[in-house]
Structure 1
Amino acid sequence: MNKSRYTKIFAATVTGLLLAACATTAPTSMSPAPVAAYRDIIDLAGRLSVNYQKDGKPETLSGKFNWSQKGERIDVALASPLGQTLAKISVTADAATLTQADQAPRVAKDIDSLTAQALGWSLPVSGLRDWLQGYATAPGGKRFTASPASNTVTTADGWRLTFVSWQDETAAQPAPKRIDAERAATATSEPMALRIVIDAQG
């Protein structure tokens, strides 16, 4: 076989192999849609319904809330359905303060136990920092991002969350509209259920 013919056969073989490789290579998958970044500054207003146990008896409370978050500081105002302020809560990295009408402010390190003592039920402020933006911490510390297709998670501290509805389901990362949260009884806490509806956000 002369050199010229050998070169042609080799070139044809290489070309065939390259074409076969191109035909069998899977197409490159598209990059996932970007996830909206967690915001350190938010202002929300909405409605809150709480079902809890007090002295072994079921209790229900409903009303309005305003939530203002700036970095580590959180300010929450709880009001009756008619708008009468029931309590104001301020949480910083160092302490939590709860103020009720005609009462001296109460200060503690732990806002959950502070609200349990003052209100009869614990407001999970540390969890709400994430929940109100559609995030949660799952068991093992895994970060959970809620969406219409994946809207339920049990958190690392035992809350069963369901993100029921959304402000705009067509958004790349929809913001929650309604969140249901349930926690079973434990050795140190009573069963409790929250329904949160966000009416306005900024």
Structure 2
Amino acid sequence: MLISNRSIRSARWLAGWFHYFQAPRRAALGFAAAAVVTVSGLTGCASVTPRQPSTSNATTSVTAQTSRAYHGRFAVQYVDQNGAQRNAYGNFDWQEAGDTVTLQLRNPLGQTLAIVTSSPASASLELPNRQPLTADNVSTLMQNALGFALPVEGLRYWLQPSAAPTSRARTEQDPQDPAHLKEIVQDGWTINYVAYADAPATGLKRVNLSRQEPPLEIKLVLDQ
């Protein structure tokens, strides 16, 4: 059987991502000398077809007014403005207080890539050694400055995990553990819940997000 160069390159990207997320800290730091690596000809992950999905208006008991904090690692695969496939790896800190989210992105060496602040009234983005950028929309800020935009507003709910109450969503429970969500499809995103923390810890451990247009894949590992 002949294997295409595209398949080989995709396998290499997935292998690199797996190494960064699974290796000890010393190996992870040695994996990349920079946060963004350019590649070409990558294919997206296949979508998971939900079994026995449910469709609702995402009526949940989620409260977005509490304080939350997450720390972990991210891997992003996106297409830049020139149509080239790119990857970004690193660490993130998420601080949420009421309706305001502050997201700090760092490269694998711990250097700050960007600090994003989002609230209903405005959004700002800080880059190293540059004046802060402001706009009404956090997605526009991130897209223009970084080349990709994380779905900050959706993540406020998806990381809990729950569908956002602002639009219709299709959800699927985990058949192995009905108390846990397996997948959410909402606002053009497919959110796959890969792993939950082992007892006595609670909450998510790994979640993958994907969108077809424009193509974007996000993999998150939550350390706490």
TM-score by shorter chain over 0.5: yes
Instruction: Specify the alignment match of 1:180 in structure 2.
Output: 208
Q: Distance in 1 between matches of 2:69 and 2:86?
A: 29
Instruction: Quote the offset at 1:44 in angstroms.
Output: 0.9
Q: Distance in 1 between matches of 2:169 and 2:146?
A: 31
Instruction: Specify the alignment match of 1:4 in structure 2.
Output: none
TM-align CA RMSD: 2.5
For these two proteins, the number of residue pairs brought into alignment is 159
Instruction: Specify the alignment match of 2:215 in structure 1.
Output: 191
1:126 aligned to 143, 153, 167, which one? 153
Q: Distance in 2 between matches of 1:132 and 1:196?
A: 10
Q: Distance in 2 between matches of 1:93 and 1:151?
A: 29
Instruction: State which structure, 1 or 2, has the greater radius of gyration over its C-alpha atoms.
Output: 1
Q: Distance in 2 between matches of 1:142 and 1:182?
A: 15
Question: Where does structure 1 lack aligned partners over 5 or more consecutive residues?
Answer: 1-34
Q: Distance in 2 between matches of 1:70 and 1:140?
A: 22
Alignment of 1:1-202 (within 5 A): 38=63, 40-54=66-80, 55-137=82-164, 141-142=168-169, 144=171, 148-149=177-178, 150-155=181-186, 157-168=187-198, 174-185=202-213, 190-200=214-224
Instruction: Specify the alignment match of 1:20 in structure 2.
Output: none
Question: Where does structure 2 lack aligned partners over 5 or more consecutive residues?
Answer: 1-59
Normalising by structure 1, we get a TM-score of 0.71
Instruction: Quote the offset at 1:141 in angstroms.
Output: 2.4
Q: Distance in 2 between matches of 1:196 and 1:145?
A: 20
CA 138–192 in structure 1, closer or farther in 2 if over 3 Å, else same: farther
Instruction: Specify the alignment match of 1:8 in structure 2.
Output: none
* Contact residue 169 and residue 184 of structure 2 kept, 8 A: no
Read off the aligned partner of 1:132 and give its amino acid letter.
L
Instruction: Specify the alignment match of 1:23 in structure 2.
Output: none
